[in-house]
Amino acid sequence: MLSAKKHFKYRCLLSLWLIALSAKVIGQSQKIDILYGGNFKKDEAQFPGASIFTKDVNGQVQFRHQGADMWCDQAFLYADENRIYAEGNIYLEQGDTLKLWSNSISYNGNSRLLKAMGKVRMLKDTTSLQSDTLYFNREDQMAYYNTGGKIIDSKNILTSRFGTYFIDEKKYQFDQKVHIDNPEYTLDSDKLTYYTDTKYAYLNGPSTIVGEDYQFYCEKGFYNTELQKGYGNKNTEIHYSDRIINGDSVYFENATSFASATNNIQVLDTINQSIIRSNYAEVWKAIDSVFATKRAVAINVLQNDSLYIHGDTLFVTGTKENRVLKSYRNSRFFKTGMSGICDTIKYIQTEDVTELIGDPVVWNGESQLTGDKMWILSDPETQKLDSLIVESNAFVVSKDTINNLGFNQAKGADLGGKFVDNALNQIKLHKNTELIYYMYDENQELLGVNKTICSEIELQLENGDIRDIIFRVNPDGTIYPIEQFPEEMKKLEGFIWREDERIYTLDDLIIDSKN
């Protein structure tokens, strides 16, 4: 048994629910009003239950239902079912901003569902929707088509196979063969959401945007159709003149010719066949500039080998005829049989010249080379290493690999080297040169240690080992038996062995996961 208080509360709630339900039913079942009927007739044999209205000399037939007025040439009103079928020069108004034209209309006043057929055009504000058949749910203010449609606004013409228009939200959802024509670009997508007030497009499926000098592809992203800027965050790629940018997330602005990308980035220079990989990059197309950081690596793709350069920050500048790559802070490079480290690397791609600045070290074969500045030159035609230049405090070191008694060393003011098949074949040291060399015979028996000073030394190398030594201009040297070679003379002034810093494989190129 319910208490009197609870029973009263229950009756009140039930009464309120019944009132709300009644209001809803009354609202849903509001009858279609006839404002002007023109000529009237009945034809129960052919149109049972229908009242037939036809325009006359005074004007078209006019109906009204819940805020919408409709005009037509002929109408069939089924009053008992509260529905109407109309045909001939259909015109419908809903409020001040929505208008619709078609050849015929079928409308149910209870469900407020409308079907417009034949040359349908719906105008909302300044946006026009066109289709052969359009379904309009006036209850939810939603229109859709499934046999192809066209949307026209101030700048864009958009077509698709399927489309849904959420009128209050000013939002379209398009599916299958979505295409936008704009005077400045075209857009193709499998699925797209478009807002008519902001002109924003949200891409959900394989999508391609082609502008005057760019092409953008993604499988999920956003595009501002007025400002031509947007981003993609799934399988994204942008073509910027002679560069192709890939990344997990890519953003671009056409007005500033700017693009940025984050995570798993690749920037391909299609002219010079070079690649930059990093986790953050910026591309300024108008000034031919690329900035990359976070595990940044530049790859110069060669026919039989490639040069890899890493640094905390990479910059590429210059036109396609004169690309220049600069690596700043903790710079490192790797190439088959050769590697090096320094503070700054400057690489002129079109000339195949690599400049090493700031405490440079280069390893080639078994040799370690140091100096204040270095240049590595390649042959632009064969793309093989050609020569090496070391300026100021040139120093060459290699281990005595036969008996491990010490280090072969040569130093001078500067150095010039020649490569054969990417390996150092000849080294010339100039000015105030010194040499320490462990000499062996053909049976690898130690002959002694050569300690010489002269003006110029030439080293002939084979497989990284010294095969022959030529002293020029007043050499002054001594060959010491190993047991008589003083300990304090075993290292030339400025000697430093940096084997623990050497890059042996490509996996060693990046040592700090933060860069």
Which residues touch 107 (CB under 8 Å, ≥6 apart)?
32, 65, 70, 83, 84, 85, 86, 113, 114, 115
Nearest to 263 by CA among 226, 241, 296, 221: 296
Average pLDDT over residues 335-361: 90
User: Does residue 31 register a pLDDT over 90?
Assistant: yes
> Is 80 exceeded by the pLDDT of residue 304?
no
Tell me what pLDDT residue 287 has: 85
Predicted local distance difference test score (pLDDT) of residue 464: 65
User: Rounded to an integer, what distance in angstroms lies between the CA atom of residue 161 and that of residue 480?
Assistant: 91
pLDDT range class, residue 14, cuts 50, 70, 90? very low
pLDDT of residue 249: 93
Say yes or no to pLDDT of 467 above 90: no
Inter-CA distances, 382 with 324, 348, 377, 388, Å: 20, 16, 12, 16
The owner of tokens 């030594």 is 469
Q: Please tell me the predicted confidence (pLDDT) of residue 381.
A: 77
The mean of the pLDDT values for the chain is: 88
CATH class of the structural domain 360-506: mainly beta
Task: Report whether pLDDT(27) > 50.
Answer: no
Distance CA 132, CA 149 (A): 8
pLDDT class of 512 with cuts at 50, 70, 90: low
**Nearest-CA neighbor of 297 among 283, 311, 286, 287?**
311
Work out the end-to-end distance of the chain between its first and last CA atoms, rounded to an integer number of angstroms.
Answer: 76
| pTM summary value | 0.78
Using DSSP bridges, classify how beta strands 407-420 and 423-440 pair: parallel, antiparallel or unpaired. antiparallel
Q: Which of 315, 334, 335 is nearest to 323 (CA)?
A: 315
Contacts 24+ apart (CB under 8 A), 277-284: 278/314, 281/245, 281/247, 282/258, 283/240, 283/243, 283/245, 283/258, 283/259, 284/256, 284/257, 284/258
- Please give the average per-residue pLDDT across 360-384, as a whole number: 88
Tokens of 453: 């000073």
> What is each CA distance from 312 to 70, 267, 278, 294, 329, in whole angstroms?
69, 17, 10, 7, 6
pLDDT band for position 61 (cuts 50, 70, 90): very high
For residues 121-136, average pLDDT: 94
Quick one: pLDDT band at residue 383, thresholds 50, 70, 90?
confident
> Mean per-residue pLDDT for 438-463?
88
Q: How confident is the model at residue 274 (pLDDT cuts 50, 70, 90)?
A: confident
Which residues, 6 or more positions from 392, have their beta carbon under 8 angstroms from its beta carbon? 371, 372, 373, 413, 414
Q: What is the DSSP letter of 59?
A: B
pLDDT tens for 134-183 read: 999 999 999 999 999 999 988 889 999 999 999 999 999 999 999 999 99
pLDDT tens-digit map of 1-11: 444 443 333 33
pLDDT score of 510: 87
Task: In whole angstroms, give the CA distance from residue 92 to residue 74.
Answer: 14
Report whether pLDDT(18) > 70.
no
For residues 148 and 227, what is the distance between their CA atoms, to the nearest angstrom?
27
Distance CA 9, CA 407 (A): 101
**pLDDT reading at 405 higher than 50:** yes
Rg (CA), the chain: 41
Helix/strand/coil (H, E, C) string of 174-216?
A: EEEEEEEEECCEEEEEEEEEEECCCCEEEEEEEEEEEECCEEE
CA distance 259 to 240: 9
Domains in the chain: boundaries? 360-506
Query: How far is 405 from 393, CA to CA, in rounded Å?
Result: 25
**What residues are paired with 262 via a beta bridge?**
249, 280
What percentage of the chain has pLDDT greater than the value 90?
65
CA-to-CA dists, residue 370 to 58, 237, 375, 410, 496, angstroms: 102, 42, 11, 11, 9
To the nearest 5 percent, what fractions of the chain are helix, strand and coil?
10, 65, 30
- C-alpha dist (Å) from residue 89 to 83, 92, 105, 127, 280: 19, 10, 10, 21, 59
- pLDDT class of 368 with cuts at 50, 70, 90: very high
Confidence at residue 17, expressed as pLDDT on a 0 to 100 scale: 37
Apex 363 CA angle, 359 and 364, nearest 5 = 145
Checking if the pLDDT of 379 tops 50, the result is yes
pLDDT of residue 29: 56
pLDDT band at 28 (very low <50, low <70, confident <90, very high): very low
